[in-house]
């Protein structure tokens, strides 16, 4: 069975902590070290971003990491090899996040087959709307890969139901009408949005885009089943004096979030 589904079935009350880590940033070996540190810090699933030249849903930090990863020669195929390497030592659910153009170039069915062989359990493709995802969902189902689609504060209830139906196991709730990144201010409207999702959706959902502190993570987890953190980790890596220190700083931060939620 798919590891995401297995985990959710066996841990119904556990709040999910999912870090976003760009494959190849700041380099391949540090990516692997960061993933291991995240697992050791109590993360339940790992979201691995495969870099793309036009990451339209991402803010400055993720754009920077994608640019550096591409300069390092990271590709979709090499991202799968990172997943394969992680799978040798861990059964943590792995979710790839990226944009659809690289998958189309790779070949949809070929990609799903290779992703499954590498140990990938799920996919998040922000620029693929549900109404255009029939082939993608069909190939994913053939290879038992979970599809995760995004809902936003502007999503109406009819479309939200379409999104939930297209999600294999859980929904990704975008908390802002904008791109990823820290420094966002969340008010009562965000709380009401997440509360509304909890009343409308029958599947679990996680909140992401802008989670940059244990306090925000705790707040979102009052209403959601977990949170995704990405830009904050990249920021910590960028500000550290060394790559190894960056990994330690990221691990310390994730541990504080795990404790908070």
Active-site annotation, residues: 47, 58
Q: Which of 183, 170, 185, 184 is nearest to 224 (CA)?
A: 170
pLDDT single digits (tens) 131-151: 999 999 999 999 999 999 999
8 A C-beta contact, residue 46 and residue 87:
no
Q: How far apart are CA 186 and CA 216, in angstroms?
A: 8
The pLDDT-based confidence of 237 (bands split at 50, 70, 90) is very high
Say whether pLDDT at 57 is over 90: no
| Second CATH level (architecture) for the domain 15-256 | Alpha-Beta Barrel (3.20)
Domains of the chain, residue spans: 15-256
Please give the model's pTM, rounded to 2 decimal places.
0.95
Residues 9-20 pLDDT 10s:
999 899 999 999
pLDDT at 230 over 60: yes
């Amino acid at each position: 069975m798919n590891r995401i589904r297995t985990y959710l079935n066996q841990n119904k009350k556990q709040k999910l902590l999912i870090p976003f880590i760009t494959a190849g940033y700041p380099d391949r070996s540090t990516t692997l070290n960061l993933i291991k540190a995240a697992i050791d810090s109590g993360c339940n699933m790992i979201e691995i971003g495969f870099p793309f030249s036009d990451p339209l849903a991402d803010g400055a930090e993720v754009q920077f990491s994608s640019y550096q990863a591409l300069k390092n020669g990271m590709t979709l195929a090499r991202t799968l090899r990172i997943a394969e390497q992680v799978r040798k030592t861990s059964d943590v659910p792995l979710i790839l996040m990226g944009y659809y153009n690289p998958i189309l170039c790779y070949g949809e069915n070929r990609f799903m087959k290779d992703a499954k062989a590498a140990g990938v359990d799920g996919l998040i493709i922000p620029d693929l709307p549900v109404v255009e995802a029939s082939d993608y969902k069909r190939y994913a189902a053939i290879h038992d890969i979970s599809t995760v689609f995004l809902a936003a504060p502007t999503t109406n209830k009819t479309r939200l139901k379409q999104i939930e139906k297209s999600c294999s196991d859980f929904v990704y709730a975008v908390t802002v009408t904008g791109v990823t990144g820290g420094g966002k201010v969340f008010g009562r409207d965000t709380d009401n949005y997440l509360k509304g999702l909890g009343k409308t959706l029958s599947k679990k959902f996680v909140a992401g885009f802008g989670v940059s502190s244990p306090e925000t993570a705790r707040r979102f987890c009052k209403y959601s089943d977990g949170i995704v953190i990405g830009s904050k980790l990249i920021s910590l890596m960028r500000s550290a004096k060394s790559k190894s220190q960056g990994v330690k700083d990221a691990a310390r931060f994730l541990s504080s979030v795990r404790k908070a939620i």
